[in-house]
Structure 1
C-alpha cells in the first residue's frame, strides 16, 4: 500500500476527546495489549498528530504519529499497527517468518506467497482467513511487515504451502516507514523451543519455503518470480532453458521426478511421519526439493499421475502405498536402506558448484564478500535443525567445509585393463603394525591388502620365501571378508620394498613403514 509515495492532505494535532476515543478503539482492536500498554502506546501528554493522506492508488488513510514516528494507520475504519509499534510489541500479532531475500520484493509492493513462508519446529501460528498478521525474518523476531491472511492455517497446510498467503499492507523501508525516523529493526532473538511445546498440528521441522519455487504477486500487476535473482528467460512450468541436455522433455521430467522423490525421502520425510498422504509428500516435500531453475510437473512426465509413479516406486520396493480411506492413498512404509545411486564428485567440483551457485543467485554478502547469505537450499544442505532459524550467513570456508562434510565419502580404485571400482566410505591405507608375542618375540601384521587389489595369500607366500620366516593368514578383526597376513619378526623393511618397488603403490597409502628396523640393528 505504501510502496510508492503518498499525498498528504492534512496534518493536525489530535484533540483530547479524540485521543480518548483512539485509546478505546486500540483496546477493542488489540485486546491483548491491555490498558497499561495502550496508555503507554498513546500517552496522555505527548504530542499526537493525525495525518490524512491518499495512497498512490487513491485509498484514503489516516495515520497517527507520535513525535516523528507513525504508530498506527486506519483504513476503512480498521486500525493497523506500524512496524515501529510492532518493534516495541513484537507479540501483538501472530507472526510468520520468511527469508531476508524476500523482503525486497515485499517492499516493492509484492504480497507474500506461501512457498516463501518458513515453517518453524513448533508449526505455523493458528490464524483464520482475514486475520491481521506480522511477518518477520529468519533469525530475528522483530516484524518487518504486516499483512492480512489470505487463508486459514489449516488451508495453508492443506494446499501444501502453495498460493498467496498474505496481502501485505505495510513494510519496513516503504514510504510510511520513511515518514518516521527511518530506524532499523531491533535484534529480537527467536523464542526458545521446548521439546514439550506445541499441541498444534505436527509439521515436518525440515519443511520450509524454497526460493526455487517462490512466487510473489505485486500490487501493480500479477507476476511470477522463481528467485529474486532469477533470469528473465526462466519460464514457469518448464525445465531451465540454460540446460544443454538434449534429452526429450519427458525424459528430463522423469529424471527430475525421481530426483525430487528420493531427495524428499532422504532429507524431509521421517519414520515418525508415516503413514504420509501422497498429496502431502508431493505438495509439502517434493516440490520444495526441486532444484533452482526447474519446476516439477508430473503431467509432463511419462507417468502423468503421481499414483502411477508411486506404483512404480512400490514395484522397485522403495515405498509401500496403501489406500487407507476411499480414494485417499498414503505411504505406509519406506525402505530406508534401498540402494539409491548418485553421481560422484571430486572435492574441487563440489567447491566450483557451490561457488557458482552462490554467485549466480547473488548470495555473496554485499557488505562482506567473505560471507554467503543462506537461501533455503543451502540451509537444507548445511545447517542443523537448531540453526535453521538463527544462522543466516556463513563464511566461504565454513560453507564449503560443511558441504563436503555432509556428502557421502567414496573412493575409486583403477587396475590396469579393468573397469574402475567405486566404493563408498573413506579409503583405508595398507596398515602395517608390530605385535609382541610370547617370549618377547615380534611379528609383523599387514591389513587392507585387498583394497588395493593384492591377494593376501600371494603376498604371504612371497614374504615367506624372501624373509625365510613363517607366515599366517587369518581373518582381520573388525573387518568383514578381509584377511590379514602375519609374518614372524620385524619384516617391515622387506614388506616396504615389496609394496613400494614391485607393486608400485604410493607411499601415502601405506601406514607403518616408519617402524622398520634401523640399519645395523636386528
Structure 2
C-alpha cells in the first residue's frame, strides 16, 4: 500500500474530542493493550496530529502521528498500527516469521507467500482469516517489520502444505509510511532461547548444497518451485544490520574534517553547504561506506553544520530559507590541524551519473511545484472539504475539491453540462461586484481558473537529496538583465542563483574563465543575504549555454535570455 509516495492533502493537530474517540477506537481494536499502554499510545496532552492522504492507488488514508513518527493509520474505518508502534508493543499482534532477504520484496509491494513463512517447532500462532498480524524476521523476531492481514486461518495454511498466499501486506519497514517518520531502524532484540529449527539451520550454514539465491525468489505463488521451497528451509538466518547513529556521526566528522583539510580552498568561499556536501564530503567517504545524514543523530545536514559552528570551526550564513552558505573556516582550529587522513584511504570513485561532461559534479535542478493557499475570501468554498484558511493545496487538489463541491451541491447545469450554476458561495468567492448581478453560470475552465487566481500563491522546492521546502509566492526565476555603464559599456547582471541551489561564486568564476572578462559579486539591493553576479559585456549566450546545457536548468526557470546579442557577420 505504501510502496510509493503518499499524496498528502492535509496535516492538522487533533482535537480533544477526536483524541477521546481515537482512544476508544484503539481500545476496541486492540483489547490486549493495558490502560497504561493505551495512554502512552494516545496520550492526553502530548502533541498528536492527523494527516489526510491518498495512496498511489487512490485509497483514502488517515495517518495519526505522535512527534515525528506515524503511530497508527486508518483505512476503510479500520485501524492498523505502524512498525514504530509495534516496536514499542511487539506483542500487540500475533507474529509470523520470515527470512531477512524476503523483506526487500515486501517493501517493494509484494504480499507474503506461505513458502516464505518459517514454521517453528512450537507451531504457528492460531489465527483466523482476516486477522491482523505482524511479520518478523528470523533472528530478530521481537521487532516486527511488516503488518499484514491473514488470507486464511492457521489450520488452512497447514492443510495447504504451506503453499499459496498467506498474508496481504499493508505496511512494511522501509516503505513510504515508515519514511514519513524519523526512519529509525528496528531494535535488535535476539530471542532469549533459540528455536531448535534455527539452531539446525545455523549448523548447516556452511553446506553449499543447502544454499539458495534468494534474490531470484519471487513471492508469487506460481513462481515458487518445490525445490526452492525445500532449500529455503535451510537458509541461514543472518541479518545485516545498518550502522548505528554513533558510527554515522563519526563518519560524518571524518569526512567533514578531511574535506576542510584537503579539499576546500579559501578562494572557494563563500560555498553553498549543498555544494560542500556533494562535491567535497562525498568524495572523502571511504570505499564501501555511504554518508546518510538521516541515519546520524543530527538527521539534517544543517544541524550538523550548526554543531560545527558552535565549536567555532566554521561560519554558516542563511542566504534564503533552506539555502545556506559557508562564509568562513578557521583552518587553524585544533580539530582541523590534528586531523589525520586515515591510512589506506581510498576515495569512492565517481560514477558517470555523478559527473558532468567536463568532469564537474553533475548539478541536479530543483523540482518546483506550484501550490495554493486558502485565503479568507475562499475559505467558505473549501470549508466542506475540511480545509481552513492557510491550508496548502496542489492544483490537482484544488480541482478535485471544486469538482466535488459542484457535484455535491448539484450545481451542474442540467441543459448544458459544460456550465456550472453560481450559488451564493461561488458568487462571493469568484465574482467581482460588477459581475454578481449579470453572471449566473460559468464554464468549468473559467470556474477553475478563477478559483486558482483567488488563492494565495505558494511553491514547493525540492533540491536533490533534501526535504521539500514550501515558500510563499510564485517563485522568482533567475533574472538576467543588461545594464549600461559609463562609456557606453554593457554589463550582464544575474540574480536569484541561490534560489536554485547554484553557487554564485562558482558561476561567476566559470563565466570569467570562459569569456575572459572581469566578474564581480555584490549584495543584492532588494533582498537581504543574497548576492548578484555582474560580468562585463553582454554574455547571455555564454550564460545560456552554461545554465541550459551544462547545469540542465529548464528554460522556464530563467527570464532575460531573449536579450542575447544578435549574431551577425563581422565586417
Give me the TM-score of the superposition, normalised by structure 1: 0.40
Give me the TM-score of the superposition, normalised by structure 2: 0.37
Larger radius of gyration, structure 1 or 2? Answer: 1
